[in-house]
Amino acid sequence: MTDDAAAPICLARPLLPGPDDTRTGCAAARGLDGRPLHAAALKFFWGPMDCGKSTMALQMNYNHARQGRRGLVTTRIDRSLGPQVTTRIGLAHSAIEVTDSLDLRDLVRDAWAEGVRVDYLICDEASFYNLEHVEQMAELVDNYDVDVYAFGLATDFRSCLFPAAQRLFELADEVARIQVEVLCWCGREGLLNARVVDGRVVREGEQVVIGDTMASADVRYQVLCRRHYRSGDLGPRS
């Protein structure tokens, strides 16, 4: 006897007959985007501020869209403070704002109910999401066969993991440090995000405070190597 409760639940989008079905060869095992079903993955791309996370998120969205896949882009507390992903090199894309009450599964289910395919989610600024959102990402991958690509900071200004980032490290199928290096003023690879108030590195306060990396901001963030993060040395130009 098998235990019904242990039977896998699959809510993956049903295969609908379409002109592309003959292309796949084995329609029963593939989704509408041609990828094998149950091959979805949760991937977390992390790096310090200014390392190009949002740029990579939008590039990934573009690359997948070019291959005929359909996705949704979500964000939280983007520096533009609007429902879009913006990048420091000038790219922008409309995005769904992730609020405390937003259920990422509902986002996908509602889209499907309207006949809109969702093959993947691009979740920018994922370290600012709630833990529940990360669990929802895992469920979307496992039970809905939707790929989830999350991008975010690993650590906060105290050099401690953001809760959502920690959960992503724990749950993700794949974790990758973003390769575009951002350098400390000393030339070493930047690793940590220092919060700077009145020209000094602060190490206590709220975990999330909106700031910028521009030198003129009241609260700003500066990426430092571990050595200079620990010593609080902002360099000769600060």
- Answer yes or no whether residue 186 interacts with Zn ion by CB under 5 A: yes
> Which of the 8 DSSP states describes residue 212?
B
Q: What would you measure as the largest C-alpha separation in the chain, in angstroms?
A: 72
Kindly give the interhelix angle for 131-144 and 163-171, rounded to the nearest 10 degrees: 30
Binding track, positions 131-170, relative to Zn ion; x by CB under 5 A: ----------------------------------------
Looking up tokens 């709220």, which residue turns up? 206
Minimum distance between the CB of residue 155 and Zn ion, rounded to whole angstroms? 16
Distance of alpha carbon 52 from the chain centroid: 12
User: By C-beta, is 79 or 188 nearer to Zn ion?
Assistant: 188
30, 105, 167, 228: which one binds Zn ion (CB under 5 A): 228
Measured between alpha carbons, how far is residue 76 from residues 29, 98, 112 in Å? 35, 5, 23
Rounded-to-integer distance, Cα 124 and Cα 91, Å: 14
- Answer yes or no whether residue 225 interacts with Zn ion by CB under 5 A: yes
User: By C-beta, is 38 or 230 nearer to Zn ion?
Assistant: 230
Q: How many residues bind Zn ion (CB under 5 A)?
A: 5
User: By C-beta, is 60 or 225 nearer to Zn ion?
Assistant: 225
Q: Given the rule CB under 5 A, which residues bind Zn ion?
A: 184, 186, 188, 225, 228
